[in-house]
A and B are shown apart, each in its own frame.
Chain A
Amino acid sequence: MATQNMNFDRAAPRALRKLPSEINILLVLVGIALVFEILGWIFQGQTFLGNINRLKIMILQVSVIGIIAVGVTQVIISGGIDLSSGSIVGAVAMVSMSFAQTAEYARAVYPALTDMPVIVPVLIGLACGAIAGFINGWLIAYTKIPPFIATLGMMVAARGLAKWYTKGQPISFPTDSFAFLGSGMMPVLIFLLVAVIFHVAMKYTRYGKFTYAIGANPQAARVSGIDVERHLVKLYIVAGTLAALAGIVVAARGQTAQAGMGMMYELDAIAMAVIGGTSLAGGRGSILGTSIGMVIFGVIISGFTFLRLDAYYQEMIKGAIIVAAVVADTYRQKKRVKKA
């Protein structure tokens, strides 16, 4: 078995191939932004991209959902789906806010537990998200029910919990330190932190490699020595925890928590992942792609508002774009596999 002197210039083509999927998405982003810029000059007589304030607001609007999308992307790469994130946002907003109220407010949920250090509501909120994620993951991994059903159940249940928690009453008057988590550009910073951490995790750790392998072929992953069930539980815990983090940021930013918060966020997060090149068939996608997908999402919303397009049209066009992204993914997948 002679080791042959074959030519190994493999590192280069590998890197070259890995990049394009994200570069394509980046090009789409640039294209869409330029279209709005041009339309802006034609219809509004002003710049779209040149307005820093607009860009700031745009990124602020999407980064909370972006935090969720980072978790949802990982779940989708593993071949699953998470519909419960929006409801977890609502439930965690309520729960964490109830531990973050100031003593000055007379009708706090827990009058004895006011003016707590900020770490308390944050940890309690994250723990709630982790527990919800654990239940999702455990059901999916060990009872083998489809992720769609398990997380649909959690979506309904968590929303119910959010409403039951104060019998529908909003919770307000957070401490300054809690409100700080949602102030200014904090949501964007938190998103960036989360995105960088999980970008590294997905690309450079076993955690990430196993996620891709499970999404590509769960049986083969199992026979290759991966504890598929345990890994799935981990993934859904991550997704639940990140949704909880988004819930904390939402509550802190609004300085109030309502049971209806985060409604439909799960779908926007899935859309960001899909627009960013994550394959619903599993096995492919990246946090970088999702981050670009998030910005595309923001540009579109902010662009439509900028053009004074009616909100109804906005939603219809948003829907079309999501479908177009999936069609593009299917087409890419076909091209990747040249011959059967």
Chain B
Amino acid sequence: MLDGAGASARGVYTGDYILEVDQVRKEFPGVVALDDVQLRIRPGSVHALMGENGAGKSTLMKIIAGVYSPDRGEVRFAGEKLEIRTPLDALNSGIAMIHQELNLMNTMTVAENIWIGREPKNALGLIDHAEMARMTQALFDDLKIRLDPQAMVGDLTVAQKQMVEIAKAVSFKSDVLIMDEPTSAITETEVEHLFAIIRDLREKGVGIVYITHKMNELFEIADELTVFRDGKYIDTVAAQDVTRDQIIKMMVGREITDMFPKIDCEIGETILQVRNLTLPGVFHDVSFDLRRGEILGVAGLVGSGRSNVAEAVFGVRPATSGEIRIDGEKVDITAPPVAMQHGMAFLTEDRKETGCFLNLDCIENIQVALLSSGKVDNRGFVNQREVNRLAEEYAAKLRVKTPNLAETVANLSGGNQQKLLIARWLLTKPRILILDEPTRGIDVGAKAEIHRLITQLAAEGVAILMISSELPEVLGMSDRIMVMHEGHVSGFLDRAEADQVRVMELAAK
């Protein structure tokens, strides 16, 4: 009965709404996360939930999944009030969830991960591994996923892990499937695959809640959409009745006219020259120039080596051959401190893993690069007053929203965390700024602000290397675009000649 993917074990619910959230309120100390919100999901439809970071989407999903309990209001499932106390309750009630973060056990196999807690047993009551593998294969066949059920999850790519998460959620045969930004870590091909799975589930009567920041996905897959803003319910509309601009207006409460406000500025002399940079098996013969005031966009699919080149230039994982010149002089960048001495700064792709100190406060997060650059201390002693002043100045400049800078960074929204990380690097007054996915997973308002800031920095003469998976961002912000494909530079495009099609041609070849 657990074979394959498909419709609910409970049969298709015939009422109007399979899941109803009514007047739900949730407060945390000092913040109202949800203020009497509502959400109604029809069976057999894809319902997008939109809102800036901090709008309360994740909190609501955690209430539905039983992680939090609401202060007021109720959640009804198939017309009945839902009493969910644990994530297991939610699964048993027919609600499955794909979380934004991966929740897999790296040291176990794909099959073990999917069926954990539900393992098929043989006559002796021991786990039947053969049956488990067969069930996994059946599930994968149904979803057209090509993965070995016996593979170690730790050996998979992030995108493959995401597919395992999706398969696992589908395997519960739930009536409601919640997906929290399922495409943030996967490539175009896999997004198509995911959408095919979603359409299939929709046909089988599953109600799908789809949380995303990406507008084009929304119009491709969603039937209806609900917008939250600052913990409040704004509206529910049919996807075909609204335009992109209307949705943005609902989300931010104001019009954002220019998403990519690149201003033309004077491009100066070449400051960074990279020649034939190679890290065997990762990237080969990468060469490019970067000039003062220039934004060089780097496009390419996930896994094309974009981030690795950035890491090599900054010395995180140096290349084995090739050369890097700064102001015409050959430099040997063996580690990040060396890169920083040459005026480089590097905003990493993964905010949580390599960016933030989540358990430390804002000041401690902002000051670290400045401290390691050794510019503000007196024989090792830190002038904390001066550091605090600078941190406050930049937090204000970047409009970081936090009650105060003593707040633990884990409590900030993704956009604000990103602004703190940018502030961290701006404090070191870099001449060369490397940005790896500067606006990944952050909301529209913060995105526009970060774009404005990047342009501003370029205008001040900073040379910027910007990697991004979002084509509109690369096209909108860059003076030139370098496209990478499978570890090689497949071409450069000038701002004037670049468009979506040409970049994709070079990126996918």
Residue from B314, B346, B372 in contact with A226 in the complex, judged by beta carbons closer than 8 Å: B372
Q: Beyond A223-B354, A338-B411, A340-B58, is A213–B368 a contact (Cβ under 8 Å)? A: yes
B382 x A333 contact (CB < 8 A): no
Q: Mark B394-415, 1 if CB is under 8 A from A, else 0.
A: 0011010001111010110000
- B181: CB under 8 A from chain A? no
Majority-rule SS of B interface residues: helix
Q: How far, in Å, is B366 (CB) from chain A's closest CB?
A: 10
- B259: CB under 8 A from chain A? no
Within 480-507 of B, Cβ neighbours of A (below 8 Å) are at: none
Complex contacts, B159 vs chain A, CB 8 Å: none
Complex contacts, B346 vs chain A, CB 8 Å: 223
B410 x A337 contact (CB < 8 A): yes
A220 x B384 contact (CB < 8 A): no
Residue from B369, B381, B408, B410 in contact with A205 in the complex, judged by beta carbons closer than 8 Å: B381
Per the bound structure, the CA–CA distance linking A212 and B397 in Å amounts to: 26
Complex contacts, A104 vs chain B, CB 8 Å: none
- A210: CB under 8 A from chain B? yes
Per the bound structure, the CA–CA distance linking A284 and B357 in Å amounts to: 11
- B371: CB under 8 A from chain A? yes
Within 9-42 of B, Cβ neighbours of A (below 8 Å) are at: 28-29, 31, 33
Sorting the interface of chain A by its residue count into under 10, 10 to 19, 20 to 34 or 35 or more gives 35 or more
Per the bound structure, the CA–CA distance linking A30 and B388 in Å amounts to: 34
A222 x B316 contact (CB < 8 A): yes
B357 x A336 contact (CB < 8 A): no
B364 x A225 contact (CB < 8 A): no
Within 203-220 of A, Cβ neighbours of B (below 8 Å) are at: 204-207, 209-210, 212-213, 216-217, 219-220
Q: Mark B321-355, 1 if CB is under 8 A from A, else 0.
A: 00000000000000111011000001010000111
Complex contacts, A157 vs chain B, CB 8 Å: none
A213 x B360 contact (CB < 8 A): yes
B339, B348, B406 — most chain A CB neighbours (10 Å): B406
Per the bound structure, the CA–CA distance linking A28 and B314 in Å amounts to: 47
Q: Beyond A1-B453, A206-B382, is A220–B357 a contact (Cβ under 8 Å)? A: yes
Complex contacts, A3 vs chain B, CB 8 Å: 393, 396-397
Q: Return 23 A-B CB contacts under 8 Å, by A number.
A: A1-B452, A4-B396, A10-B392, A11-B388, A14-B361, A14-B363, A206-B377, A209-B368, A209-B382, A210-B371, A212-B357, A219-B353, A220-B354, A220-B357, A221-B368, A223-B336, A283-B357, A283-B359, A333-B359, A336-B359, A339-B33, A339-B59, A340-B67
Chain A positions near chain B (C-beta within 8 angstroms): 1, 3-4, 6, 8-11, 13-14, 16-18, 204-207, 209-210, 212-213, 216-217, 219-227, 281, 283-284, 333, 336-340
Excluding A10-B388, A210-B371, A336-B359, 11 further A-B contacts by CB distance (< 8 Å) are A13-B403, A14-B404, A14-B405, A16-B406, A204-B384, A209-B364, A222-B336, A223-B354, A281-B359, A336-B408, A340-B410
